[in-house]
């Protein structure tokens, strides 16, 4: 047995008071005169024994009453298996408020039960203790310690959120705050349904005490739209744009007759009826025809119940009328290059000699092809570098009679590989880098009869450069076509000239045309068709105003001003998790001028309704954490109090003290010496 306030035990010295009273009060004698006391001797002896016994019982009751009162104030307790925690405690409670917590547990949603249990846990601690209330929102207010009444108010205000994070990320936020506190009593609680997709706790750090409160609901069946993507990297006007939609069945039953539909421009169009096997996924194809260029907003839907938060998927894409390209030459246009660009309707191509260029118009192009220039002037080199740093792409074919020093000066400024000597040995390309964007998904098969370019001569490269990557190589491993990252753009360097006498690339249409197409579309910062709520979403746009003080805002189901940083012609927007509802959000200037639109969807981590069972939690975390059972959860305040402070005995001490005081009064009131006639 231990004591919370052991100094109170010094008050046991008060036990001397009833002893002194007994010695000096009950030992006083009163002289009574009788005519003859010879016959009273036996009566006197018997009365003295009875009085002595009565006085001793009264003394005992008083001593026990005082001793128990002192013990009560010292607050004795019996500790359990856990170590008793003395002093201030900092307690972090994670309350799962993701969409899965909307499921019912008996008659109430899991979130309401979690909030009730969290409030009981907070109430079990002392006023001096401090609390962190953290949920999937991970907002700034959850990164500070609160007093008990503040913590209870935060718990009461918690609502469901579309954001969801793995529990390891939640734990990291808890440690960031609790780790700064000097106290040794650092306690964490996790109140969740523990879906398998997010349950990745690492409890190896023994600095903290871990407690798991498992909240169990009826597992619902669920079907979700997992993701969507276009077959082609860029969509075109009046073309059949193929969109792939992945739908997943998370239940153990077949999902029959699911209706997939598409909402565009306020019109809902039924697409297909599909069946999905248990625990399987299906990819459906949607053909989207658009008649006008611009930003397109599309919402995909399926019919599923009762879990519905992942039944919608929003996408946006910027549909271009034409892709502007430019070719630069020494004066003679390359017929093969012009033919390749004119063969596709989506290119808007121009050709210009190097001696007559408008450098200010470079930025309107997506791809600039430089071919067969004898020398690269310093003005052209600087303009091309600025163009690439701003996000443009350049493809360079050196001339057979190239002025190597001017080329290498240009390449050195780009930190790209330099040209070496001319190699007259004929070579054949035999490797295509299908992992890189330019040739990714270009060829349907990897058949052996794919015709690749051959050259009658080529320049060697020193193999150095920033972001160096080989796209096409010869059999000896030398590079035929390389890619370098320059700023936010790309630089493509071919080691052979662009003419049919020394390079057969222009004759291989199945390689040459898709290569030009993908290079024009290539970007190190391609716009996604959808964002996920809860992730650190960063958006890069071209600055739409010359005013440095201009403010952009996002407007949709919620309106807010994102974080903004300007870098020349680019603006970086940081959304800081300010979007909490899925849908379309338009980017606007202060004067409500719409610029573009973005789609945001809920995180699909919550789509799988499978949760860990109590036995699973015991196996995974039972050695490092306390798994609070349903029996303990019924009276969680008492359970925590007894674990932190032991089994408190002060109440029993006070009750016994009152009993002994009452017993003393009864003895005094009803114990009478026996009378003799």
Question: Residue 177's pLDDT band (boundaries 50, 70, 90)?
Answer: very high
Mean pLDDT (the chain) is 85
Give yes or no for residue 27 having a pLDDT over 80: no
pLDDT at 44 over 60: no
Q: pLDDT band at residue 119, thresholds of 50, 70 and 90? A: very high
Residue 306 confidence (pLDDT): 81
What pLDDT digit, counting tens, does each position of 200-245 carry? Answer: 999 999 999 999 999 987 767 899 999 999 887 667 788 788 999 9
Least confidently predicted of 78-92, 254-268, 450-464, 494-508: 78-92
Kindly compute the dihedral angle of the four CA atoms of residues 663, 668, 669, 671, in this order, to the nearest 10 degrees: 100
CATH 2.60.40 fits 531-601, yes or no: yes
pLDDT at residue 643 in the model? 74
DSSP codes of every residue in 94-114: EE--SGGGGSEETTEEHHHHH
Give the model's confidence band at 79: pLDDT under 50 very low, under 70 low, under 90 confident, else very high. Answer: low
User: Which stretch of 14-18, 421-425, 515-519 has the lowest confidence by average pLDDT?
Assistant: 14-18
Identical fold for domains 89-219+610-645 and 223-320, yes or no, is: no
Q: List the one residue out of 572, 571, 575 whose CA is nearest residue 532.
A: 575
Q: What is the pLDDT of residue 45?
A: 58
> What whole-number distance in Å separates Cα of residue 493 and Cα of residue 371?
11
What CA–CA distance (Å, rounded) separates 445 from 604?
Answer: 32
Least confident of 79-88, 126-135, 144-153, 183-192: 79-88
Judged by DSSP in three states, 572 sits in strand
131 to 141, 152, 158, 189: CA distances (angstroms): 12, 10, 15, 11
Q: How far apart are CA 242 and CA 230, in angstroms?
A: 6
d(CA 189, CA 173): 13
Reported as a pLDDT band with limits 50, 70 and 90, residue 81 is low
CATH class of 89-219+610-645: alpha beta
Q: Which residue is it, tokens 């077949």? A: 254
40 has pLDDT over 60: no
Architecture of the structural domain at 223-320: Sandwich (2.60)
- More reliable by pLDDT, 11 or 30: 11
- Minimal CA–CA distance to 452: which of 490, 507, 498, 394? 507
Q: Which two tokens stand for residue 613?
A: 């069972």
Three-state DSSP string of 329-385: ECCCCCHHHHHHHHCCCCEEEEEEECCCCCHHHHHHCCEEEEEEECCCCHHHHHHHH
> What is the tens place of the pLDDT at every residue in 314-336?
999 988 777 889 999 987 888 88
446 in Cβ contact with 433 (< 8 Å): no
Q: Which residues pair with 419 in a beta bridge?
A: 461
Residue of higher predicted confidence among 518 and 374 = 374
d(C-alpha 426, C-alpha 421), whole Å: 15
pLDDT digits (tens, 9 = 90+) for 404-459: 999 999 999 999 999 999 999 999 998 998 888 788 766 655 555 678 899 999 99
Please report which confidence band the pLDDT of residue 368 belongs to, taking 50, 70 and 90 as the band edges: very high
User: Does residue 473 have a cis bond before it (omega within 30 degrees)?
Assistant: no
Give the residue extent of every domain in the chain.
2-79+664-670, 89-219+610-645, 223-320, 323-521, 531-601
φ, ψ for residue 449, nearest 5 deg: -90, 15
Residue 158 reports pLDDT greater than 90: yes
Quote the CA–CA distance of 323 and 365 in Å, as a whole number: 8
CATH for 323-521? 3.40.50.880
User: Which residue shows structure tokens 């106290």?
Assistant: 183
DSSP string, 578-647: ---S-EEEEEE-TT--EEEEEEEE--GGGS---B--HHHHHHHHTTTEEEE-HHHHHTHHHHHHHHHH-E
Provide CB contacts within 8 A for 350, sequence distance 6+. Answer: 324, 325, 326, 327
How large is the average pLDDT for residues 608-634? 90
């Amino acid at each position: 047995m231990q004591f919370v306030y052991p100094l109170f035990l010094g008050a046991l010295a008060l036990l001397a008071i009833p002893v002194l009273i007994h010695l000096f009060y009950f030992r006083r004698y009163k002289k009574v005169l009788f005519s003859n006391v010879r016959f009273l001797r036996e009566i006197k002896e018997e009365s003295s024994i009875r009085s002595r016994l009565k006085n001793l019982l009264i003394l005992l009751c008083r001593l026990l009453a005082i001793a128990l009162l002192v013990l009560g104030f010292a607050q004795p307790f019996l500790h359990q298996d856990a170590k008793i925690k003395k002093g201030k405690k900092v307690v972090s409670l994670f309350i799962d408020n993701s969409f899965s917590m909307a499921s019912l547990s008996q008659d109430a949603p899991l979130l309401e039960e979690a909030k009730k249990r969290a409030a009981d846990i907070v109430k079990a601690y002392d006023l001096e203790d401090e609390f962190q209330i953290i949920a999937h929102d991970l907002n700034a207010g959850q990164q500070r310690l609160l007093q008990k009444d503040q913590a209870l108010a935060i718990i009461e205000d918690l609502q469901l959120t579309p954001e969801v994070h793995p529990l390891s990320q939640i734990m990291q936020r808890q440690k960031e705050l609790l780790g700064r506190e000097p106290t040794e009593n650092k306690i964490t609680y996790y109140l969740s349904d523990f879906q398998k997709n997010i349950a990745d706790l690492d409890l190896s750090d023994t600095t903290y005490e871990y407690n798991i409160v498992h909240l169990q609901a009826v597992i619902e069946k669920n079907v979700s739209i997992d993701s969507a993507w276009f077959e082609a990297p860029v969509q075109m006007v009046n073309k059949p744009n193929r969109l792939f939609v992945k739908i997943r069945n998370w239940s153990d039953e077949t999902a029959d007759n699911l209706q997939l539909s598409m909402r565009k421009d306020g019109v809902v169009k039924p697409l297909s009826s599909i069946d999905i096997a248990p625990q399987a996924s299906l990819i459906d194809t949607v053909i989207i025809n658009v008649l006008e260029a611009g930003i397109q907003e599309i919402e995909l839907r399926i019919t599923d119940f009762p879990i519905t938060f992942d039944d919608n998927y929003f996408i946006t894409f910027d549909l271009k009328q034409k892709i502007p390209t430019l070719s630069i030459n020494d004066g003679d246009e390359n017929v093969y290059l012009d033919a390749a660009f004119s063969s596709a309707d989506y290119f808007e191509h121009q050709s210009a000699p190097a001696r007559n260029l408008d450098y200010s118009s470079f930025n309107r192009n997506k791809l600039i092809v430089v071919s067969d220039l004898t020398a690269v002037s310093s003005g052209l080199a600087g303009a091309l570098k600025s163009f690439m740093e701003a996000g443009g792409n350049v493809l360079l074919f050196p001339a057979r009679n190239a002025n190597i020093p001017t080329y290498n000066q240009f390449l050195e400024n780009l930190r790209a590989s330099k040209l070496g000597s001319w190699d007259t040995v004929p070579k054949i390309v035999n490797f295509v880098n299908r992992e890189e964007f330019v040739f990714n998904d270009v060829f349907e098969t990897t058949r052996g009869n794919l015709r690749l370019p051959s050259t009658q001569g080529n320049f060697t490269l020193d193999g150095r450069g920033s972001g160096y990557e080989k796209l096409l190589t010869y059999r000896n491993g030398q590079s035929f076509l390389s890619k370098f990252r320059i700023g936010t753009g790309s630089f493509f360097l071919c080691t052979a000239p662009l003419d049919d006498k020394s390079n057969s690339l222009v004759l291989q249409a199945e390689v040459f045309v898709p290569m030009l197409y993908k290079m024009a579309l290539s970007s190190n910062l391609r716009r996604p068709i959808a964002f996920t709520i809860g992730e650190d979403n960063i958006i890069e746009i071209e600055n739409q105003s010359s005013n440095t003080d201009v403010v952009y805002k996002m407007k949709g189901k919620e309106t807010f001003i994102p974080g903004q940083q300007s870098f020349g012609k680019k603006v970086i927007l940081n959304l800081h998790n300010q979007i909490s509802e899925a849908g379309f959000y338009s980017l606007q200037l202060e004067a409500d001028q719409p610029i573009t639109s973005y789609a945001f969807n809920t995180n699909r981590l919550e789509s799988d309704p499978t949760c860990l069972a109590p036995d699973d939690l015991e196996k995974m975390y039972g050695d490092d954490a306390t798994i609070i059972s349903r029996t303990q959860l019924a009276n969680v305040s008492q359970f925590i109090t007894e674990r932190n402070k032991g089994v408190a005995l002060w109440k029993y001490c006070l009750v016994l003290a009152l009993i002994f005081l009452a017993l003393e009064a009864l003895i005094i009131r009803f114990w009478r010496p026996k009378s003799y006639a």
